[in-house]
Structure 1
Amino acid sequence: MKTRLSLLALSVVLTLAACVGVYLYQKQPQRQGDIRLAGLQAPVQVDYDARGVPHLQAQNEADLYRALGYVHAQDRLFQMELMRRLARGELAEVLGKALVPTDALFRSLRIAERATRMAQRQDRQGATWQALQAYLQGVNAWQAEHRPMEFDLLGITPRPFTAEDTFSIAGYLAYSFAAAFRTEPALTYIRDQLGSDYLRVFDLDWQPTGSVAAPLATADWRGLEHLARTSHEALQLTGIAQFEGSNAWAVSGSHTRSGKPLLAGDPHISFAVPSVWYEAELSAPGFNLYGHHLALTPFALLGHNAEFAWSLTMFQNDDVDLVREQVNPANSEQVLIDGRWQLLERRAESIAVKGEPAQVIELRRSAHGPIVNRVLGDSAGDAPIALWWAFLETENPILDGFYQINRAASLTQMREAASKIHAPGLNLVWANAAGDIGWWAAAQLPIRPDGVNPAFLLDGSSHAADKLGFRPFSDNPQEENPARGYVVSANAQPPGEVAIPGYYNLADRGRRLDQRLREGGTQWDTARSQALQREVGSDYGPRTLAPLLPTLRRVAEGDRQQALVQALADWQGDYPLESTAATLFNQFLYELAFAALHDELGDTWFEVLLGTRAIDAALPRLAADASSPWWQNRHEPSASGREAVVRLAWQRSLSHLQALYGEDPAGWHWGQAHTLTHHHPLGAKKPLNLLLDIGPFEAPGSHEVPNNLSAKIGPAPWPVTYGPSTRRVIDFAHPQLARTLNPVGQSGVPFDRHYADQAQAYITGQDFPARQPTEDGQSTLRLLPANPSQQE
């Protein structure tokens, strides 16, 4: 009897396993054989290389983009679905009520409205629109006959993808670049609640009288806390990549071993599964491009061919103003603008919530823009905060710009294409086989009234929030074929006579790249560029520690602690896996920030500030300023002063690391504390994380070093949140040997062999040829016209 039961149980298990296997097999991409695709005029051949990258050969442009949409969808449809839902405020419908605040935030940003207007403005006969429509038809053709596993798990009902969805994702891109949502409320709070002395550490051009005519009430600050926190959490909750920074440089032939220009680039983006970029090579008569594509975007945002190549970094110009409106005491529906009480526009929207009744929110708008705090609930307070955002206020023909960038072969063509990118602000770094190199900061830069500092909330009742137009593109920072023989971009404040407000990264990373690129006698090639992309050091740590070392020597107790201080003094600011000084410095940096800042800021504003770039500038300046008011402890006056705070931070650092990694500092390895896990959006639901997440991997590098594998300032351990989203090097002596990689895998389909096949290579600093020779594992898919009479 027991034997029969055992055999029955085994049979059930095997049957279930077989069913699961068949189910998963049916979800896998098809990379060989023949498929008939409606709308094709002629066959399209798709050769897949060993990394699963498609190389498409079509006989005309419409077929090329229709085929791209089809193969892109079979690898990344769930990513497309989630990104459009995020941008349009529709996540709660499939992920539940926890995403209602995120949906409310994105509805308040009015991205969907703007996307509709952008789509309506397109020339229906233009090449850009025709290519987009062909691509979307390909995406929808695949979706019509297939359903990703995630759709089944979440109960997603497929619906066609539209041009409005593509433009909405452009809005998401602009939002993810906009640091103002988190930074401006925090800096305004510090100015108005703590005072001007506390702003010295941020290195801001502070206006003594401020731009806000009157301080905000306590309730209003609670609302801004909510706004800043929701903005910070919005992308984390969904596991969708956020754009954070980047490196790029181009070197002229006079400084390369080959005598031809060289381009290197690695945009820094939050890690997720799948990764942000979809690689594909597109070929049609008169056109060839190896490109990196964003979800639902037919035109490559990074690309190269035999004639030209480009990369992107974030410009990080401040294209967002938060405006505090003055409410009429006699009528709460009115705000004071241009000396007159003006009615707020209002309308209700319904947010669908999975498994629960829909939630209705009220969207409001003033003449300055949408009101972004009221939708977040009762804690928002009484002062409406309006959003002026370049993405909403500029024509922004960004899709036309990238269509042209994909085809630009000269400086003149690239300059013209770059001028069409209005928001978000991007740096385009470019090189071509003819010998040119160039860099353009692409954005429409608003002209603000004299004396206005947009780092703070602006007063809507004055003229501080006015915009006097936009600067011409010729005023933007840019360089073409400079005499020094290279251009470099790393998110730092650009040079130029025109002051451009922004939330720029510190100069440490850019300075390290610049130092290397101008080393006398260096002849640059692919290997040297790859080594620079993998460098794991900068001056940030040593320059932050330098003014504190005498104090640390005084507070360190005993020979063992003195030895640790000496290790920090000898540390070069690098982050290899085996470093223990890197681990100690990063724990000390957090404890120093907490001991100095938390008593003034409290839990929420302290966490918000740690999520901004402002903290990076603040901590080295704080360390060097013994008289800063931040050293005073509001709760324990006896623990005030720089030496007392340093002593407390030092002892807390040692206690924390000892508790985690043992008493012996020799075991405090950076790789043990600093790890990278690529999270799938559904990995937050255990045990799905065991099936869908990729990692953890011990990770070298750190924040603001060339290999910018970054974690938020905080206590150990440090999970890496963003870093190089690809590493590309193109030497125009041999552009067919260009190098590239994906941080996880080309496919976003779980259990596909290309789901995570590059993850180990990525963390160890390897890369691959973009055009791989014929080898084992290569396959060919033929897409054929639905009508056999059209087939050749």
Structure 2
Amino acid sequence: MARWLLRGLVVAMGLAVALCAAAAIVLWASRPLQEGTLPLRGLTAAVTIERDAQGVPTVHARSRVDLARATGFLHAQERFFQMDLARRGGAGELAALVGAEALPFDRARRVFLLRERAREWTRRLPPEQQALLFAYRDGVNAGLEQLSADPLEYLLLRQSPQPWAVEDTFLVAAAMFFLLTDEHAERALKLARMETALPSALVDFLVPTRTPWDAPLQGEGAPMPALPGPDALDLRSLPSTLFLGEPASTRRLSGLGSNSFAVAAAHTGGGSALLAGDMHLGLDLPNTWYRMRFRVDAQDHADADRDGHVLDLVGVTLPGLPVMVAGSNGHVAWAFTNSYGAWSERVVLALAEGGYRTPEGVEAFGRHDQRLEVAAGEAVEFTVETTRWGPVVEGTTADERHAVRWLAALEGAVNLEVIGMESARTLEEAVAVLNGAGLPPQSAVVATRTGRIGWTIAGRIPDRAGPAAMRPVSWQQAGAWRGWLDESDYPRLLDPPSGRLATANARLLDGADLALLGDGGYAFAARQQRLAERLQAEPGPVDVTAALAIQTDVENHYLAHWQRYLRTLLESPEAAEYPWRDAVNALLSEAVPTATVDSARYALLRRWNQRVSDQVLHAVVAPVRARFPDFAADFPASQAAVWAMIEAQPAHLLDPRYASWPALLLDALDVVIRRAPTPVAQFRWGRINQLDMRHPLSRALPALSPLLDMPAVGLPGDRDVVRVQGPRFGASQRLIVRPGGESEGVFHMPGGQSGHPLSPHYRAGHDDWVEAQASPLLPGPTVSTLRLQPPS
């Protein structure tokens, strides 16, 4: 028996070794090409691709169409699986690749019918942009075909990659709209649900648009809305059972975030202006962006060569698109942060026989039969109902139905107009291009070689009949969206008197301009306030080195208020009974808390701040949770309301399980300390804020983690500091540049250029991002050259 068992084990091990060897061979064969000469159908002239040690390509082409074809080839070779996920995510077709687990995701996105819309958008492009898309498509498919084996992800999923369609580029763009806008107007739905159980004045206080922390470009910070008294709501009069249970995490209270700023020549030491931009996104592998340098021979690109220069751009591309998303063309540099305007709204439907009511009478629902393919499963069919305002979705209550109107589903919302940034030479030209670009509406900062700076909204803004709706509106009040806002009506700030501009996802505008954009969930403004103050306080000229120091600042001035309050609280009689009081006191100081990896003080304060926020908001929205059990008040601006309540300590908004606000605050700290795995003095922020940057497949197959994932290292930074950093969220790229001085610019990116784990470029450059070490924006010396040429 033992002999047969041993033979069986030997055979099994042999099979396992054989399978591993086969997988290794396939993995090796699927590596992207680095060197040599290759024919590429459709080229009008040879294209040279030079890679540096980090795998960053400089593409030399004789025409913009050839450049698009070569870009598609590179994207497919290095990042096709990422592109595939993005296009399927935009269309609601993910289950066909990964299985039934993705069906809820697909259903939610399929209601917008974006594949059909993307085909129409493609047909309506100007001929020159259509040519770019078709060339890019052909380059993608050629790059995919040139791989000797399918990418690893398809081997593990037992799937084959499907060819790229021309409309897939628009679906990748649509995936970014899903990421950066509130497509289902969930914020409006949550506010409406709050108002079913709370007075409107309290909702306005808990979710303010304007706060004292604001540092807008237009107007100033504002006092908090008035706090309603006990006649509006007294938590002490409610049943204690409403407050039971573990508080829902509100870790998103400060919102997600990016940072950008620009400094005019008067404050950079003369010459060109300076631009810095950190676009913060989820951290996955491969990274969102793909670095490139575009170089086009001037004689074949007259529009880009009006000043007699060769087209020369450096920055980041998004795999799936043939354009530079952010970067510098030598004359103009541009960067984005998310605008968080209200780009969707809900219309409360009135059902009637034969359809739904409109101002012109009853109208029939549109019906669109959809089929969701499922990998290794049966296809699922369902019908999307649509109205003149958009698809039908759930309402505030179970018996209510809404239509959701989302700008990305409108004709003309997505286009390739950002390509105009390649040839923009002046601030006015750049701003005009950005206003008409088909992007998720972004807060755009521009710096020029001539020393000027400016800000505007990049992306198309709907021309609404009235202000942006913050709550669901009735069908009678649903004003028309009359196409797109004229560029002359866009908010802009050119050449500000201070010579500085700073944005960080918080409110930037006031008055009519704020009403135009609405509030789609602005970030808590403490980070933007710190960025603006740090920029203003810079003692000398703001050069690249100073800009990097600003972008990696980790002082938390909002948390400093919590520290001062805690020091006072620990001196109160209520604190005497806690055995940890002296240990906590020993950590606190007058210095501003800094989110460094070794800081015990920061770890303590940040955990306490989080727990207090969870408990306070858990209590205040208890009446809402009684109607909607899964409700959580995770609005970013609620952080301002939490601090205002701690300062005011209103008895009628205190969790009735506590005798006083100090009792609640001390109990929250006690929970933090009791649940911690180490004593207070051994707290370390780096143990909490540890990088969790992983490939999608390693989450399903942990054994692949050493091959696919980045090391789990402690990182400085946090929310509410300029260097926003969490385990799975942070700067997806960092760009610092003076147009015309790109050779002195700085660039960081997590992960590496290639999506192939055996590529030498899979992790190249990642350590510079972790350590915030200045690394050059321009590609370094060439280490490999690939030449693409027309077939003979």
* Structure 1 position 571, deviation (Å): 5.1
* Structure 1 position 11, deviation (Å): 7.9
> Quick one: distance in 2 between partners of 1:23 and 1:469?
51
1:182-233: per-residue Cα shift (whole Å, max 9, x none)? 422222211212333532222259999xxxxxxxxxxxxxxxxxxxx9xx99
1:484-504: per-residue Cα shift (whole Å, max 9, x none)? 222222222113542231222
Q: Counterpart amino acid of 2:673?
A: L
Alignment of 1:85-100 (within 5 A): 85-100=88-103
* 3-state SS of 1:188 partner: helix
Q: Counterpart amino acid of 2:405?
A: W
* Structure 1 position 302, deviation (Å): 0.8
Structure 1 residues 568 and 132, CA, compared in 2 at 3 Å: closer, same or farther? farther
Alignment of 1:447-486 (within 5 A): 454-460=469-475, 462-464=476-478, 466-467=480-481, 471-486=485-500
Corresponding residue for 1:404?
420
* Structure 1 position 390, deviation (Å): 1.6
* Structure 1 position 630, deviation (Å): 4.0
* Structure 1 position 266, deviation (Å): 0.9
* 3-state SS of 1:694 partner: coil
Alpha-carbon contact 1:289-1:304 (below 8 Å) kept: yes
> Quick one: distance in 2 between partners of 1:181 and 1:583?
34
Pairing partner for 2:343 from 299, 302, 319: 319
Matched, 1:115 2:118: yes
* Structure 1 position 543, deviation (Å): 3.3
* 3-state SS of 1:106 partner: helix
Alpha-carbon contact 1:676-1:697 (below 8 Å) kept: yes
For structure 2, the 5+ residue unaligned runs are: 211-224, 228-247, 299-310
* Structure 1 position 698, deviation (Å): 0.6
Pairing partner for 1:194 from 191, 194, 198: 198
* 3-state SS of 1:700 partner: coil
1:619-671: per-residue Cα shift (whole Å, max 9, x none)? 32332332275423xxxx343653342233122111112xx2x2x21211000
Corresponding residue for 2:130?
129
Corresponding residue for 1:488?
502
* Structure 1 position 552, deviation (Å): 5.2
> Quick one: distance in 2 between partners of 1:743 and 1:344?
47
Alpha-carbon contact 1:38-1:785 (below 8 Å) kept: yes
Alpha-carbon contact 2:616-2:642 (below 8 Å) kept: no
> Quick one: distance in 2 between partners of 1:482 and 1:62?
38
Q: How many residues align?
A: 724
Alpha-carbon contact 1:444-1:472 (below 8 Å) kept: no
Structure 1 residues 627 and 465, CA, compared in 2 at 3 Å: closer, same or farther? farther
Alpha-carbon contact 1:262-1:731 (below 8 Å) kept: yes
For structure 1, the 5+ residue unaligned runs are: 209-228, 234-242, 711-719, 788-792
Q: Structure 2 length as normaliser, TM-score?
A: 0.85
Matched, 1:530 2:531: no
Structure 1 residues 398 and 730, CA, compared in 2 at 3 Å: closer, same or farther? same
> Quick one: distance in 2 between partners of 1:405 and 1:81?
27
* Structure 1 position 612, deviation (Å): 3.9
Alpha-carbon contact 2:88-2:171 (below 8 Å) kept: no
Alpha-carbon contact 1:390-1:422 (below 8 Å) kept: no
Pairing partner for 1:771 from 766, 771, 778: 778
1:88-115: per-residue Cα shift (whole Å, max 9, x none)? 0111112111110000001013322332
1:398-421: per-residue Cα shift (whole Å, max 9, x none)? 312x11012211123212211213
* Structure 1 position 602, deviation (Å): 4.2
Pairing partner for 1:297 from 310, 314, 321: 321
* 3-state SS of 2:393 partner: coil
Corresponding residue for 1:154?
157
Matched, 1:617 2:640: yes
> Quick one: distance in 2 between partners of 1:730 and 1:604?
52
Q: Counterpart amino acid of 1:722?
A: F
Structure 1 residues 202 and 291, CA, compared in 2 at 3 Å: closer, same or farther? same
Matched, 1:507 2:529: no
Pairing partner for 1:671 from 686, 694, 697: 686
Structure 1 residues 436 and 197, CA, compared in 2 at 3 Å: closer, same or farther? closer
* Structure 1 position 170, deviation (Å): 1.7
Alpha-carbon contact 2:768-2:775 (below 8 Å) kept: no
Structure 1 residues 197 and 433, CA, compared in 2 at 3 Å: closer, same or farther? closer
Structure 1 residues 87 and 565, CA, compared in 2 at 3 Å: closer, same or farther? farther
1:690-715: per-residue Cα shift (whole Å, max 9, x none)? 432223121110013111113xxxxx
* Structure 1 position 516, deviation (Å): 2.0
* 3-state SS of 1:350 partner: strand
Pairing partner for 2:266 from 250, 254, 268: 254
Pairing partner for 2:561 from 523, 530, 543: 543
* Structure 1 position 16, deviation (Å): 5.5
Pairing partner for 1:185 from 186, 189, 196: 189
* 3-state SS of 1:193 partner: coil
* Structure 1 position 270, deviation (Å): 0.9
Alpha-carbon contact 1:122-1:129 (below 8 Å) kept: yes
Alpha-carbon contact 1:544-1:619 (below 8 Å) kept: no
* 3-state SS of 1:639 partner: coil
Alpha-carbon contact 1:548-1:624 (below 8 Å) kept: no
Corresponding residue for 1:214?
none
> Quick one: distance in 1 between partners of 2:22 and 2:540?
60
> Quick one: distance in 1 between partners of 2:502 and 2:263?
9
> Quick one: distance in 1 between partners of 2:66 and 2:777?
23
Q: Counterpart amino acid of 1:700?
A: P
Corresponding residue for 1:340?
361
Deviates more, 1:413-422 or 1:338-347: 338-347
Matched, 1:170 2:186: no
Structure 1 residues 604 and 280, CA, compared in 2 at 3 Å: closer, same or farther? farther
Pairing partner for 2:584 from 546, 561, 564: 564
Deviates more, 1:51-60 or 1:434-443: 434-443
Q: Structure 1 length as normaliser, TM-score?
A: 0.85
Pairing partner for 2:47 from 26, 44, 49: 44
Pairing partner for 2:701 from 683, 686, 700: 686
Pairing partner for 2:289 from 253, 272, 277: 277
Deviates more, 1:84-93 or 1:540-549: 540-549
Alpha-carbon contact 1:320-1:387 (below 8 Å) kept: yes
* Structure 1 position 770, deviation (Å): 2.6
Corresponding residue for 2:607?
587
Alpha-carbon contact 1:422-1:444 (below 8 Å) kept: yes
> Quick one: distance in 2 between partners of 1:417 and 1:691?
42
Deviates more, 1:21-30 or 1:71-80: 21-30
> Quick one: distance in 1 between partners of 2:670 and 2:85?
45
